[in-house]
Structure formats: structure tokens, C-alpha cells
Amino acid sequence: MRRRTLLTAAATTALAAGCGGPSASSSSSKSGRGRLTYGVWDVYQMDAMRRAAREFEKTRPGVSVDVQLTPNGTYWTKLRTACTSGSAPDVFWMNGPNFGLYADAGQLLPLETSGANAVLDPDDYPADLVSLYRWNGTQYGAPKDFDTVALWFNKELFDRAGVDHPDASWTWQDLIVNAQRLTDRKRGTYGLAAPVWAQEYYYDSIAQAGGWVISKDRKHSGYSDPRTREGLRLWVDMIHRYKASPTLQQLTDTDATQMFQSGKVAMVQDASYNAATFYADPELRAKVDVAPLAKGRRRATIIHGLANVVYARTAQPELARDFVRFMSGRRASLIQGKYGTAIPARNGTQQTWADAMPRFDLKVHLDAVGYSVPYPISTNTAAWSHQELRWLARAWSGDESLTDATRSLTKAMDKLLAQEGKGGAR
Amino acid sequence: MSIDTRPTAAVPAPRVPAAAPGDARARRRRERRFLHRDKWWGYALIAPAGLGLAVFYLWPVVETLYYSFNDWGAFGGTTWTGLSNYRTLVTDPEFWHSLGNTAIYTVLVLLGIPLSMLLAVLLNLKGMRGTGVYRTLYFLPVVTMPAAVAVVWRWLYNGDVGIINQALSVVGVHGTYWVSDPATVHFAVAVVGVWMTVGYNMILLLAGLQSIPQDYYEAASLDGAGRVRQFFSVTLPLLSPTVFFTTVLSVIQSLQVFDLVYLILGANTGAGITNPAYTDGETVVMLFFQKAFYDNQRGYGAAIVCALFVLILALTAVQFRLQKRWVHYG
């Protein structure tokens, strides 16, 4: 998972102004006092989270919720330590790559999915998100938001090169040919940026080529499958063969999103959570738009989303479950959508997110759910995703052939997955 | 370092020639009793600092050593695995690579000591004007946060828009991607390392220079020694304890370098590991951080830092052994 690094806080404030008042409906208010802590990591979502927490407090007199922000860089380190010592927040954000570790170690409380005490109804959310937070048949997370990946493009650069804007009909071939046409050596602009990013680039292209990252039983790496390699080759070729992307060195010195924002590249594959950043810059707002990812052997995008989870050793399991029910529920989702920082996971509330940024064709990101592929995870995802980045960077930079790099990667990843089987990560 | 608490070293017992033997015995008894009390006072006074040291330094050292013999999971569960982590360590190419990188960095930063000496000598020259200003300028990087330094240098080094390459292009040189090119990354990082430490070493050496009595120089010039001869025969030997001190400190600090390199390589932005020069820039402490805090292999991480600790200890011991050959005291 790539961290959001360059965002401006302006996005949230601008959009918050358009946020309507609280709805009049009030859920059955129970009595009881209590103080809940809610751990989050994204400063740009703080306003929306605080707002939703206030709404929850209104439905539960005597209850107060303390939204605690820990920056992404230290969130996981701190949370692990807090879980070890029994002092983690009652409810906190979880992501796919970290979920396996927490669920497997029994750090999370199961959430009922049916009956009178149901915390969530699986049918209310995209299926891939619900299954992302299920471990050995038990549900541990209630989806909070999601992000899909799409092709963001700079209209100005397209028009200058006389290339038609991308649309749903684009295949990999169109992507390659047009990226080359958009590359202008004299001006130093490129058709497309191809960094070593998992969620936005190679996980998507692997799925589009019909390959796979990890086996269903989470025991084997898919990096030696020829189709998986085909998905990776698209980006390596984009740099070395078609010369339509900046080199990995250039992309190391200047971030791909940054290059896109400054008009150095015409196209970038980006997740929906960056839409608010682009929208916040008035100049960029007028210049860029979004289209579906180009089709390979099939159409695919990676879907990933966060979930609200309950800490296993919370002092107030019932209150915490109620809070999760609320935060992943309809009202909190509508609030979240209006702030525009993330697509709410709850079905029927997602349009609010797109409506918050009417100048972009954000339907693309919402429709992508129809052909999405879940984010690949195992118990200790972080360990092998580090190996992915390390080895794939060697292929991207041209230091090693893709075949050699993926061979080493397969070996390293299989070894780590075998260690997981022995419970090494706990 | 051991602190000598015997009374004779600090206060020589006064000789009183004409005194009865009984008197002397009584006095010695009194003295002993006083010293006994005194010793406890001493311990009581260093207790706050000693306690902090024990809790925050010594105990974690012991714990880390213990954990290096364990598999230590993300949530604190440990299982004894004996030497397994160390066996992995000696066969891990990434560890040896990072050790090599750290060694190169250390050697390059040591080259900054002659530079610091040159600056110190220049600032010590009689009749130099504005020494206060220069002293401050050279010392500024020392008091600046490494994180800020790294972020600024990263921009200076940027291959496309960095000021270094823009300056080079004026004279027709096409600069490289300094911190993402394996060929230049060692050099680029070390330049910043030197830049950050040169002021500190300079101040220490300057103090050393100023403590050399003028008489030696007067005697030397009477004997007909020129400025250069004076430097090598008077200044350098008398400065050698300070040079030794700065060398030892430099080596220890360089072997532990982390934040500066981590940030210059861009590891904080997520682009770090995919930096083509990452494996050629990665230091031992960076590897430890990666293994312990991202890969959740904390036992292995503990083994890495324990190995580094032993290495630093050994290198420092060797330096103390070798100093007898070149360091002159008094």
C-alpha cells in the first residue's frame, strides 16, 4: 500500500463547506455511559471521522468518543505495541495488508453478521471487501471505505498531441501506442508514469493478464506463472522498450503523482483516494479527468478498502460493536462521502462521494467495483510485499531481467509463506 | 572507563612526621569511617542518573541480546530458537551488503576529519577576520535536524530539477540521478554525512589547537622550523589526542547511521525500497529497522543490532590498542 504523501488539507475544508446538516432520524438510543477510543491514521479524514463520531454520541447520551490520530508512518508500529500491552484503542482502522497478522493473532473481536446482534449485513457492501476481512470463516472487520484504480489523464497534454481521450474501449495496445504518441522528448514529457506500485499498477495488470499473486490457500507465490510475468512486463516494456515512461531513477527522485500534477506525464494509474487531492487544486481540476483502466486479456482493477475493527481486549465490547455498526452504517457513510476523501463502502451511499467532485467522471471508480479483484493478502503480507518491491525494482530499473527477478521473488516469497504456516509471525 | 575511588589518588595523605603511632591509627580509622559514609553519598548522588541508564539503556541491551536468540512475533510471543537468527545472519547476503555499505560510508566520513582539521587550522590563524561567523556557519549543520537536512539534500540531488544538475548543465555537464544511481549513491550520501559532521569535529579540533602552548612554537621557530615543519612536528603530535577522540566518535556514529540515509534514499515516501540504489545505500541499522518493524521479524532484527554492537565494540577496542603507536599525551 502506497502512502498518501502529497495531499493538501484544502480538499477537506473546501468540501466540508458543502456538507449538509445531520439527518433528523435517530436510532434507538440506549442509555449507558462510557468512553470509547477510535484509532485512525489519515489526517485528511479527521474532520469526517470526528463529525460522524459526534453523530454517534448524539444517539447515545453519556457516551463520548475520542478520535485518536496516529500518522501512517508510525500507526502500525504503535498499534502493535499497544496490542501487546493491552492498551490499543477500542475500535480502530484496519487495512488489508495488516489484517491477517491481527486476525491470526487473536487481536480482533469477531463481528456478528446475522441475527439480532448483527454488526453488519454482508449484502450491504461489495463482496470483495467483506471477504477481505473474513479470516477462517469469521468476520472481523466491517468495511468502512474502498478504493479502486483508474486511469487519470491530463486533457491538455492529450489535446496538444492530438490524441483522443482514453475511454472504456482502450486495450493495453491502445495504452502503449498512445503513451508513445504522448511522449515528447523535447519538452521532457512522457505518456505514462510506470512506478513500482502494487495496488495502482502491477496487481491490476497481473489480474488483467490473467495471472495471480498468491494462491487461494495462501501458500504459494504466483510470480513464476507466465501470465503473472506478462502483467509485469507491460510496465517494464513501457520504460525500456517503448520509452514512454520516465525511468525508475526519475520516478524515485520525483514521485509519479507529483509528475502528473506538474504536467510531466500525461497518464497515471491512481487510486480513488487521490481524487480529492486533484480536485483541491483549481488548475488541476480543470485539466485532468479519469477513465477506466485499459483492458488486457480481461478487464480488472484492484479493490481495497479499510475496515473498522474492535480490539479483542476492549473493556466495552458491546459499546464498541455498536460504534462499528454506526461507523460502517448508512449515516456515517453519507457523512464520509460528502467530505470526498474516501468512497464509503456501504452500498447506496457511494454516489455522495462522486457528487462531491462533479467535474470529474468519478462514476468510473464506482463502476470498477463490477470488475474488481480483491487485494492479495496472507498472514504476514508486509514481509513478502517488501520482497516484491525489492525484486521488481531490479526488473524495472533494468538491472536484472524480469525472468531472473521474478524467479528470485518467487523463492523469497515461498519461503516467507512457508514460515507463516509454522506460525512464525505471531 | 573505571573511576578510581581510592583516596590516595585524589588526595595524597599528608605526612605528619612527629606523631604518636596511636594517633595515626585513630585518624586512619576516622578517615575510613568518613570514606565509608562518603562512598554511600556518592552512590546516592549518581543514583538518579544511574537508574535512568539502567532502565533505559542497560536493561534494553540485555533484553535485546535475549531476544536475538528468539523468534519474536509481532505481538510479543517469543520462542527460543538458539543461534538460528545468527545462522540466518551470516548467510544473509542483504546483511553483508548493508555492512559493506556502512563500512564505505564510515571510511568516507572519516575523510572529513582532515578537512575539519584544515578548517580548524585556518580559523586558528592569527589575523583571520570573521572567524566567529565562519565558526557558526560550519557548525550550523550540526545543530540542524538530520530529517530536514536529508529532505533538502534530496531536492538538491534531484536528477531532473535539482540545483546541482542545473549548475552542472551550465558548464555543459549532464549530471546523473545522484541518489538513485548505484554508482553515485555512496558518494552522494557521504558528502552529506561529512557536511553534517565537519563542524562538530572542527570545534573539537579548534579547542585542541588552542590548548597548545605558544612556547612550543617559539622554541620551534628559534630552532629554525618553518610553518609546515611546525605543523607536522608540533601541532599534529600535540593535537593527536583530539584527533583520536574525533576518529573514535566518527566511527561509532557512522556505523550507526540511519535517519540521514533512510530519508535521502526516500524510504519515508514509499519510493525508498524501489529506489534502484537502495541496496547500495542501505545501512545495517536500516536493515534492522526494516526487518524488525516492517517484516515483523523482530528476533532477527535484534540479532542484527547485537552483531553491530559487537562490531562497534571490537573496532573501538582495536582503535584504543592502536592509539599507543600514534597518539601523544602531553
Torsions phi, psi for A147 (to 5 deg)? -135, 140
Instruction: Give the model confidence (pLDDT) of A259-303 as tens digits.
Output: 999 999 999 999 999 999 999 999 999 999 999 999 999 999 999
Per-residue model confidence (pLDDT) at position B125: 86
3-state secondary structure of A248: helix
Residue of B nearest to A381 (CA): B295
Residue of chain B whose Cα is closest to the Cα of A79: B75
Query: Phi, psi at residue A117, to the nearest 5°?
Result: -95, 15
Winning range, highest mean pLDDT, from A14-28, B86-100, B222-236: B86-100
Mean pLDDT within A239-266 = 95
A235 within a domain of the structure (yes/no): yes
Give the residues across from A313 on adjacent strands: none
Q: CA A189 to CA A266: how far, in whole Å?
A: 8
pLDDT reported for residue B34: 65
Q: Determine the residue of chain B that is closest to A84 in CA distance.
A: B75
A289 with A163, same domain? yes
Q: Is residue A391 part of a domain?
A: no
CB pairs under 8 A between A and B: 99
CATH number at residue A252: 3.40.190.10
C-alpha cell belonging to residue B142: 550540526
Lowest mean pLDDT of A228-232, B70-74, B269-273, name the range.
B269-273
The answer to whether residues A138 and A197 belong to one domain is no
pLDDT bin (cut points 50, 70, 90) of residue B295 is confident
B273 contacts A253? CB cut-off 8 A: no
- Quote the Cα angle for B3-B9-B10, to 5°: 85
- DSSP codes of every residue in A142-210: EE-EEB-EEEEEEHHHHHHHT-PPP-TT-BHHHHHHHHHHH-BTTTTBEEE---S-IIIIIHHHHHHTT
The widest CA-to-CA distance across chain A, in whole angstroms, is 69
Count of structural domains, chain A: 2
CB of A253 less than 8 A from some CB of B? yes
CB B302 within 8 A of CB B85: yes
DSSP label at residue A124: G
Q: Select from A2, A107, A382 the Cβ nearest to the Cβ of B270.
A: A2
Evaluate whether residue A374 is within a structural domain.
Answer: no
Residues linked to residue A108 through DSSP beta bridges, in sequence order: A311
Helix B163-170 / helix B146-157 crossing angle, nearest 10 deg: 40
pLDDT, greater one: B130 or A130: A130
Determine the residue of chain B that is closest to A255 in CA distance.
B271
In this structure, which amino acid lies at residue B141? Answer: P
What is residue A17's predicted lDDT score, i.e. its pLDDT?
37
Average pLDDT, chain B: 88
Classified as helix, coil or strand, B9 is: helix
Q: Say yes or no for a CB contact (<8 Å) between B276 and A390.
A: no
For residue A1, tell me if it sits in a domain: no
CATH of B87-326, one of 3.40.50.300, 3.40.50.2000, 1.10.3720.10, 2.20.28.120: 1.10.3720.10
Given a contact cutoff of 8 angstroms between Cβ atoms, the answer to whether B258 and B236 are in contact is no
C-alpha cell of residue A161: 498531441
Task: Identify the closest residue of chain B to A106 by CA–CA distance.
Answer: B75
Euclidean distance between CA atoms A183 and A265, whole angstroms = 8
Subunit contact B274:A389, Cβ cutoff 8 A:
yes
Claim to verify: residue A130 and residue A22 sit in the same structural domain: yes
Cell of B303: 540479532
Nearest by CB to residue A393, choosing from B77, B162, B273, is B273
A367/B230 Cα distance (integer angstroms): 81
Is A415 domain-assigned? no
Residues of chain B contacting residue A400, judged by C-beta atoms under 8 Å apart? none
Q: Are residues A310 and A258 in the same domain?
A: no
User: How far is residue A29 CA from its own chain's centroid?
Assistant: 34
Mutation site for B-interface testing, chosen from A252, A396, A397 by largest number of B Cβ within 10 Å: A252
Nearest chain A residue to B160 by CA: give it: A250
Q: Strand pairing of A307-310 and A34-40?
A: unpaired
How far apart CA B167 and CA B147 sit, in angstroms, is 25
Contact call for residues A362 and A341 (beta carbons, < 8 A)? no
Which stretches of B54-145 are DSSP H helices? 59-67, 84-91, 93-110, 112-124, 131-143
Residue A251's pLDDT band (cuts 50, 70, 90): very high
Distance of alpha carbon A286 from alpha carbon A358, whole angstroms? 11
Q: pLDDT for A380-407, tens place per residue?
A: 898 899 899 999 999 999 999 999 999 9
pLDDT of residue B22: 64
Q: Quote the mean pLDDT of chain A.
A: 90
- pTM of the predicted model, to two decimals? 0.84
Please name which of B316, B320, B167 lies closest in space to residue B252, comparing C-alpha atoms. Answer: B316
On whether both A288 and A160 belong to a single domain, the answer is yes
Q: What is the structure's pLDDT at B38?
A: 75
Shared-domain flag, residues A288 and A310: no
Same domain? A88 vs A217: no
> In sequence order, what DSSP letters do the residues of A292-331 get, joined into one string?
PPPBSSS--EEEB--EEEEBTT-S-HHHHHHHHHHHTSHH
Phi, psi torsion values for B258, nearest 5 degrees: -140, -70
On chain A, the residues whose CB falls within 8 A of the CB of B75 are 80, 83-84, 105, 107, 426
Beta bridge partners of A103: none
Res B255: pLDDT: 97
Distance CA B180, CA B265 (A): 7
Name which of B67, B71, B165, B274 to mutate to probe chain A: the one with the most chain A Cβ atoms within 10 A of its Cβ. Answer: B274
In the listed set A319, A346, A373, which residue is the last one of a domain according to the structure?
A346
Q: What is the pLDDT of residue B35?
A: 66
Q: What cell does A195 get? A: 512506478
* pLDDT at site B78: 86
How far apart (Å, rounded) are the C-alpha atoms in residues A347 and A124? Answer: 5
| pLDDT higher than 60, residue A12 | no
Return the H-helix or E-strand segment holding A365: helix A363-367
Percent of chain A with pLDDT over 90: 85
Of A293, A301, A305, A303, the residue nearest A344 (C-alpha): A305
Contacts of A425 in chain B (CB under 8 A): 73-74, 296
B296·A425 Cβ contact <8 A? yes
| A75 chain-B contacts, CB cut-off 8 A | none
The span from the CA of A363 to the CA of A354, in Å, is 7
Q: Given this model, what pLDDT does residue A13 score? A: 35
Backbone angles phi, psi at B155, to 5 degrees: -70, -40
Q: Please, are residues A57 and A64 in contact by the beta-carbon 8 Å criterion? A: yes
* Res A263: pLDDT: 95
Domain that holds residue A65: 14-147+304-346
Could you tell me which chain A residue has the CA closest to the CA of B75? A84
Q: What's the whole-number mean pLDDT along residues B225-241?
A: 91
Which residue numbers of B have CB closer than 8 Å to A's CBs?
71, 73-77, 154, 157-162, 177, 179-182, 266, 268-271, 273-279, 290, 293-297
Angular region, A65: left φ>0, alpha ψ -120 to 50, beta rest: beta
Helices (H), A214-315: 226-240, 248-253, 256-261, 275-280, 282-287
Q: Do B75 and A105 touch (CB under 8 A)?
A: yes
Please indicate whether residue A326 or residue B228 has the higher confidence score (pLDDT).
A326
Reported as type and span, the H/E element at residue A271 is strand A265-271
pLDDT score, position B92: 94
Query: What integer pLDDT is reported at residue A423 of this predicted model?
Result: 56
How many whole angstroms from its chain centre is CA A305?
5
List where CATH 1.10.3720.10 sits in chain B: 87-326
Helix B84-91 / helix B93-110 crossing angle, nearest 10 deg: 70
How many Å apart are CA A319 and CA A362, to the nearest integer?
36
C-alpha cell at A294: 485499459
Could you tell me if A63 lies within 8 Å of chain B, comparing CB atoms?
A: no
Q: How far is A422 from chain B (nearest CA, A)?
A: 12
Q: What pLDDT was estimated at residue B20?
A: 55
**What cell numbers appear for A74 in the block?**
508510525
In the three-class reduction of DSSP (H, G, I as helix; E, B as strand; rest coil), residue B81 is classed as: coil
Average pLDDT over residues B212-237: 91
Same domain, A215 and A297: yes
A262 in contact with B, Cβ within 8 Å: no
Q: What is the mean pLDDT of residues A345-370?
A: 95
Query: What is the maximum span of chain B, computed from C-alpha positions, in angstroms?
Result: 92
What is the bridge-based pairing of β-strands A141-143 and A134-135?
Answer: unpaired
| Burial of B26 (C-beta count, 10 Å sphere; 0-12/13-18/19+) | exposed
From chain B, the residues in CB contact with A399 under 8 A are 182, 276
* Cα–Cα dist B170/B175, whole Å: 11
Q: In A, which residues are within 8 Å of B276 by CB distance?
A: 248-249, 252, 393-394, 396-397, 399
Answer whether A330's CB lies under 8 Å from A339's CB: no
ipTM of the complex: 0.81
**Is the residue at A21 inside a domain?**
yes
Quick check: B276 and A188 CB within 8 A? no
Boundary (domain end) residue, out of A324, A346, A368: A346
What's the rounded Cα separation, in Å, for the pair B109 and A215? Answer: 47
CA nearest to B289 within chain A:
A77
Q: Does residue A68 contact residue A91 with C-beta atoms inside 8 Å?
A: no
Q: Which of A346, A379, A411 is the last residue of a domain?
A: A346
User: How many angstroms separate the CA of residue A401 from the nearest CA in chain B?
Assistant: 14
**Residues on chain B touching A80 (C-beta within 8 angstroms):** 74-75
**Span B113-119, mean pLDDT?**
95
Using the Cα atoms of residue A356, residue A357, residue A363 and residue A367 in order, give the sign of their dihedral: negative
Interchain pair B180, A252: CB under 8 A: yes
Cβ(B111)–Cβ(B192) below 8 Å? no
Do A173 and A118 share a structural domain? no
CB–CB of A397 and B276 under 8 A? yes
Is position A406 within any domain?
A: no
B273 → closest Cβ in A249, A386, A397 = A386
Same domain, A219 and A154: yes
Task: Give the nearest chain A residue to B181 (CA atoms).
Answer: A249
pLDDT at A51 over 90: yes
Q: What are phi and psi of B143, to 5 degrees?
A: -95, 5
Q: Any idea which of A143-152, A180-189, B13-22, B43-52 has the lowest mean pLDDT?
A: B13-22
How many Å apart are CA B131 and CA B202, to the nearest integer? Answer: 12
Q: Which of A49, A122, A143, A86 is nearest to A350 (CA)?
A: A143
Does the pLDDT at position A11 exceed 50? no
Report the pLDDT value the prediction gives residue A31, as an integer from 0 to 100: 44
Q: How many residues does chain B have?
A: 330
Contact B268 A389 (CB under 8 A): no
Q: How many CA atoms lie within 13 A of B130 on its CB side?
A: 4
A3 to B270: CB separation less than 8 angstroms, yes or no: yes
In three-state secondary structure terms, B274 is coil
